[in-house]
Structure 1
Amino acid sequence: MLTIFKKEIAAYFNALTGYLAVGLFLLATGLLLWVFPDTSILAYGYASMESFFQISPYLFLFLIPAITMRSIAGEKSEGTWQLLLTRPIRRREILLGKYFGSLSIVVLALLPTLIYYYAVYSLAMPIGNVDTGAVVGSYIGLLLLGSVFTAIGIFASAWSNNPIIAFLVALFGCLLLFYAADPLSQLQFLSPYAYEVSFLGIQSHYEAISRGVLDSRDLIYFLSVACGFLWGTQLLLTKSWKSRRQIVLQATAVIIGTLLVNMLASVYFGRIDFTTEKRFTVSALTKQTVSELSQAVHITVLLDGQLPAGFERLKKATNDLLNDLNAYSNGKLTISFINPLAGDAAQQQANAEALAELGITPTNLNIRTETGLNQQLVFPAALIRYGDDEMPVNLLQNSMGVSHELALNNSIQNLEYAFVSALRKITSGGRPLIGFTEGHGELDNRQLHGAIQSLMNGYEVGFVNLDSISLEGLSQLKALIIAKPTSAFNELEKFKINHFVLNGGSVLWAIDQLDADLDSLRTSGQHTAVARQLNLDDLLFTYGIRFNYDLIADMNCAQIPLTAGKAGNPGQIELTPWLFYPVFIPTTPHPILKNLNGIRSEFAGTLDTIAVPGVHKAIVLQSSPFSRLLNPPATISLQLAAEIPDPEQFKDQRHPVAALLEGNFTSAFLNRPVPAGIMPSTMVPDRGKHARMLAIADGDVFKSQVNPSDGSPYPLGWDRYTEQRYGNESFLLNAVDYLTDDTDIISLREKEIKLRMLNQAKIKEERLYWQLVNVVLPPLLLLLFGLVQYEIRKRKYRIN
């Protein structure tokens, strides 16, 4: 076999056509990756070789049949095949020698492409910011693809005596096996078996492994298919010795055996994730969620068509994740990608209106190109359908205040959380109910618009009037949110809250103990912050929390616009730090605040926890060390914004602003008569079921700012003055997930994927240099190899 192996490689590189085929492969690859804008790594902008591994199958369709076409067919056409059979070598050894010889040529053709990795490595920002593990894994996938295509090429070469026909048969066979399964799986009558049908083709396996993930199912598929074609080649070479019945039986046995091996592999499988951040390794919670699906789930992703590079990356990441989820769901997920903007203007409008009813709105992108600035609408969302229920999934983290690339990277990090959270909610009998209290001057519908819109992706959200709702109605809620009440709660309402807590309900308290707001300051120039009479202190004290009557002045704060100018001159609006709008930087490792941006607040206070048996308490948010407290009656003036704060006065300590409480809370109505309006027979247990609370000493933390021009609310956390996005929305979503007992899923938000960009300044300066290196150098290396090999042959066979 070794002799045949050496002979195969030598024969290929002794002919000019061998160098021509590999040279054209390297030249075409270089041009596609480094010159042509649609597939250029330089235009893509990310320090990744994904483009190379995406276009390689297309180029292999021509390269590998060109390598294998003369392997056996050439021997037959030249009359050397029969001579070869007379040698003391088994047909199997001849076959394997030619196969591994051809595969080695494929490997040699790939070696110069390592220059592309060096180029990406050098152009990354900073240098070396490349996921090398993913590249290694992807090369393994490319080699496995080459092994199957080579086996098909050897089969075609054995099937015909004409090398040209062998080339065409191999090209058709590779094309058919690679692409045919995916369109077949989308046919209506095959839709129940879409996953199984797509599994038969090479494309789904190559796309899975080319990410840098070596899955045992993909590995066994490639090896079994390659072995199957080699076995088929063996049958072709020995068919003159066997009857047609024997050939049919053996071919059937090979096909059935290949299918059985792959079916068994699909049940028991493992994987190695070569990527640095293990970004394709799904959590145990995710595996459990999808493996327990009782019926089919259809996921429609609204990202298709011509997309900018960043959204192509988001689309690919979404497709990768959903394919991984499908693998663990035993094929219960059906996945489709559509373009809602396809069709004529009327169809696009109808699609947009239908999606708007589901809460999905488009994002308008400003795309800078070489010809100028273009606008494009995209719908970065997905729809999950489970039975008769349908739930939207937002795929794009709001990009306000952060770069476009970072926002997309954050969105990719959040994909697993977004889909698993939606799957858990839609399969658990509907979305949990969340109620905002009303009737005490709380934040209104417009001020809570951003909070409600954020929560509506996974929850049913509404308003609750504690005075009129029954205890049974209140018990339907999973969580109660009390957002900035300004008037007192009566005993009946407090009893209902207490009853809700004792029965395991969770409460989010966002309380301002002092009456202070910027509008009053703008009207009179100063304002005296006085205590509000909310009548909640006794209730909260029983649970183990006390909201203090004070205000935090923090040097780490947001800005407000103030008019600056001398008397008699028109004022100029300037943004000025406002000490009473603290920005709290999360430092706790608790999952509801881990990795969040700063939390913006307005006139926040402090709180203390009180020891209560059976209740665990944890401070989760604090002021900065450069803060101090003001106690009532505190007079606040806008003049304070014009003064430069003295750091010596702010060398205080961190003050607690938010606390989590969980456990079995004691009843605040223990040994007290029930209030009027409650049946006297209502049972009031001494201690309730396990429940959770989050107490925040700021009533505005979940308030959306409002556009003064049209009255429309901004997204939660968006600062209209500085045009940046704070972490208030993520804080709310994490908090509600935690309060509604979906604690495990919060950990999915902790996945971090490093942003790897190319150095655009370096590309602008050195574009031509890197294009020449990657387009010209690989063929030059091939030419150098040819010259060296020619010189060796010349010396070896020189006649003295």
Structure 2
Amino acid sequence: MNKSIKNSLLVLLGIAVLNYIAQRSYLRFDLTEDKRYTLSEVSEDLLDSLDESLYIDVYLQGEFPAEFKRLQIETAQFLDELQARNGSVNIRFINPDDYREDLIKRGMLPSRLTVEEDGKLSEAIIFPWAELTYGTRRTSVSLLPSTQAKSQEEQLQQAIEKLEYSFANGIATLLKDQKPSIAVLAGNGELDDKYLYSLLSDIRTKYRLAKFTLDSTASNPEKTLKDLRKYDLAFIAKPTERFSEREKLVLDQFITHGGKSLWMLDANYSDTDSLYNEGKMMAFPRDLNLTDLLFGYQVRINNKLIKDLYSAKIPLATGNVGNQSQFQQLPWFYYPLAQANPYHVITKNVSPVRFRFTTQIDTLKGGLQKTPLLVSSPLSKKIGTPKIIELQSITQEPQQRDYSDGPQLLAVLLEGDFASAYENRIKPFKTQDYLAKGGPNKMIVIADGDLAKNEMLKGKPMDLAKDKWTGDYYGNKEFLSNAIDYLMDDAGLLPLKNKTIKVRLLDKKAAYESADTWKLFNIGMPLLLLGLFGFGFNYLRKRKYSN
């Protein structure tokens, strides 16, 4: 056998070995700085849990604004990572034009975008949705979640950052036999449904919601407790009537048996209708009969109002021009803008949260872990009640030296083994399942009952994140949504919401302003290079053959 044949056989053998190794092992390398194409451990675990094929239909096919082509590309690249992890993931991009009515009926509403091209504005409608099907289960995923972004570029940035969370949350929803359940408490003067519409309609895709009253505790407390324990979380928004001892024991045993709870409580009564109609109101303590119950969980809500120089604005009539009233937006120090804890997944990257006539929370010593979630600014002041509050005080110049009480705790997360607040106390009724101390649990207490209250416009609920009068956006909705997700989340999805990715977008303004320069460059530079090449070629040719 000659040497050339031997070398050829060795090459063929080497290729066969490399092909075998490539088929047996599959490696992908993420060389991006922010590791945008590296799946989290949570996502990998969810994909590994799939027992059958997962079908993903993405309605991002067709003609739409150039910048949102980036969302299409990023979505396709991310889904490739899902498919690489689990081959049972099937992906299909669909043009939504022929399915618009059907998509809208299934709750996938279109987004209207303002497009700027060559300095001209136009509108485009896209369906930024994906639909996941797993066996007989189906869920939809928004690829352009509602945000407080000031521009479409920021909206696109946030959409790309939330891609992994959106799909991981969708897969987790499909894998659950049933949605976790939330009992929205009523019967003690809590907020009406219309004032909770914005928040509850946002979370209903992930959780089963049901109104629950404690009225039957008077006649059959055992049954009430049994029924309440069917839910995973008790949502308590601004009760205004006292809780009986029986009702408190039902809530206490719900908590010690592992039920999560979210409390939004007003320690004061404040009638804002009187404030706006009469120019003043009386703020005075409200007794909900919950002090001892919360004390058992190592927390206390005081009745001193908080004024904060860092506050939200309200519109105030400052005069008339002709027959038209003139309004000016002025800071109202009784509406603190609370700062979010940047080190916790609930509040990381959350915009300032607006409180209204809030009070302050004290935490007590004990074994529970207490994490501050929202605090007022260092320029805060505590006001004792009863107190007459006059609207005209908004015109008074504040003295910074009077606002020296420092940051005040407005919302706190409690975690640990919750002991019954009725331990070593006479029980209002006997229960066979009484538990003196439960296992690991979570609770969030907020010192403002109106935190989840959306405003109404012409009889219809508004977005909780937006102020009706000023148009300003706040982080209330995002904070409460994150808080509920954290209390209910067993898969650890919430950290994915805070994923940060650097998306380098084109500066459209700069591109438009320098468009003529770049057009001239793109046309002139090739001609210049061609001319230089022709001149040089002729010069060298003449020099070579002139001899």
List per-residue Cα deviations over 1:560-592 (Å, max 9, x = no partner): 122111699753122221111111122431111
- Matched residue, 2:440: 690
- Matched residue, 2:53: 296
SS of the counterpart of 1:286? helix
- The one-letter code of the counterpart of 2:279 is G
Q: Partners of 2:394 and 2:483 in 1: how far apart?
A: 32
- Matched residue, 1:598: 352
- Matched residue, 1:551: 305
1:790 positional shift? 7.7
Question: Does residue 375 of structure 2 align to residue 622 of structure 1?
Answer: yes
SS of the counterpart of 2:96? coil
Q: Percent identity?
A: 34
SS of the counterpart of 1:718? coil
Question: Does residue 400 of structure 2 align to residue 640 of structure 1?
Answer: no
1:651 positional shift? 3.1
The partner residue of 2:123 within 375, 378, 382 is 375
Q: How does 1:710-729 map to 2 (within 5 A)?
A: 710-729=458-477
The partner residue of 2:488 within 740, 748, 752 is 740
1:609 positional shift? 0.6
Unaligned stretches of 5+ residues in structure 1? 1-88, 96-229, 232-249
- Matched residue, 1:504: 258
The partner residue of 2:512 within 748, 764, 769 is 764
- Matched residue, 2:423: 670
Conserved in 2, the CA contact under 8 Å of 1:397 and 1:408? no
Question: Does residue 35 of structure 2 align to residue 287 of structure 1?
Answer: no
- The one-letter code of the counterpart of 1:326 is Q
Q: How does 1:300-315 map to 2 (within 5 A)?
A: 300-315=57-72
The alpha-carbon distance between structure 1 residues 289 and 763, as it changes in their structure 2 partners (threshold 3 A), is: same
- Matched residue, 1:482: 236
- The one-letter code of the counterpart of 2:395 is A
- Matched residue, 2:220: none
The alpha-carbon distance between structure 1 residues 754 and 519, as it changes in their structure 2 partners (threshold 3 A), is: farther
SS of the counterpart of 2:195? coil
The alpha-carbon distance between structure 1 residues 775 and 567, as it changes in their structure 2 partners (threshold 3 A), is: closer
Q: Partners of 1:774 and 1:472 in 2: how far apart?
A: 75
Question: Does residue 103 of structure 2 align to residue 341 of structure 1?
Answer: no
List per-residue Cα deviations over 1:301-354 (Å, max 9, x = no partner): 22222111232222222222121112112x121122223332xxxx643442x2
SS of the counterpart of 1:664? strand
- Matched residue, 2:219: none
1:732 positional shift? 1.6
Conserved in 2, the CA contact under 8 Å of 1:437 and 1:465? yes
The alpha-carbon distance between structure 1 residues 544 and 456, as it changes in their structure 2 partners (threshold 3 A), is: same
Which TM-score applies when normalising by structure 2? 0.90
SS of the counterpart of 1:585? strand
Q: Partners of 1:794 and 1:261 in 2: how far apart?
A: 57
- Matched residue, 1:332: 88
The alpha-carbon distance between structure 1 residues 368 and 611, as it changes in their structure 2 partners (threshold 3 A), is: same
Unaligned stretches of 5+ residues in structure 2? 217-222
1:361 positional shift? 2.1
The alpha-carbon distance between structure 1 residues 445 and 260, as it changes in their structure 2 partners (threshold 3 A), is: farther
Q: Partners of 1:783 and 1:282 in 2: how far apart?
A: 51
Conserved in 2, the CA contact under 8 Å of 1:588 and 1:621? no
List per-residue Cα deviations over 1:192-227 (Å, max 9, x = no partner): xxxxxxxxxxxxxxxxxxxxxxxxxxxxxxxxxxxx
1:544 positional shift? 0.7
1:781 positional shift? 4.5
Q: Partners of 1:513 and 1:610 in 2: how far apart?
A: 18
- Matched residue, 1:416: 164
Q: Partners of 2:542 and 2:45 in 1: how far apart?
A: 65
Choose between structure 1 and 2: higher helix proportion.
1
Question: Does residue 136 of structure 2 align to residue 388 of structure 1?
Answer: yes
Which TM-score applies when normalising by structure 1? 0.63
Question: Does residue 194 of structure 2 align to residue 446 of structure 1?
Answer: yes
1:401 positional shift? 5.5
Q: Partners of 1:627 and 1:483 in 2: how far apart?
A: 25
Conserved in 2, the CA contact under 8 Å of 1:488 and 1:533? yes
Q: How many residues align?
A: 539
The partner residue of 1:274 within 31, 40, 60 is 31
1:630 positional shift? 1.1
List per-residue Cα deviations over 1:682-732 (Å, max 9, x = no partner): 23222111100111111111221221xx21112221122232322222212
1:381 positional shift? 2.1
Question: Does residue 275 of structure 2 align to residue 521 of structure 1?
Answer: yes
- The one-letter code of the counterpart of 1:349 is E
- The one-letter code of the counterpart of 1:580 is Y
SS of the counterpart of 1:632? coil
Question: Does residue 337 of structure 2 align to residue 583 of structure 1?
Answer: yes
Conserved in 1, the CA contact under 8 Å of 2:452 and 2:477? yes
The alpha-carbon distance between structure 1 residues 776 and 715, as it changes in their structure 2 partners (threshold 3 A), is: same
Q: Partners of 1:381 and 1:270 in 2: how far apart?
A: 27
List per-residue Cα deviations over 1:540-577 (Å, max 9, x = no partner): 00011101102111111111122111699753122221
1:529 positional shift? 0.7
Conserved in 1, the CA contact under 8 Å of 2:34 and 2:502? yes
Conserved in 1, the CA contact under 8 Å of 2:257 and 2:435? no
The partner residue of 2:286 within 512, 529, 532 is 532
The alpha-carbon distance between structure 1 residues 284 and 571, as it changes in their structure 2 partners (threshold 3 A), is: same
Choose between structure 1 and 2: higher strand proportion.
2
SS of the counterpart of 2:283? strand
Q: Partners of 1:648 and 1:380 in 2: how far apart?
A: 51
Conserved in 1, the CA contact under 8 Å of 2:149 and 2:155? no
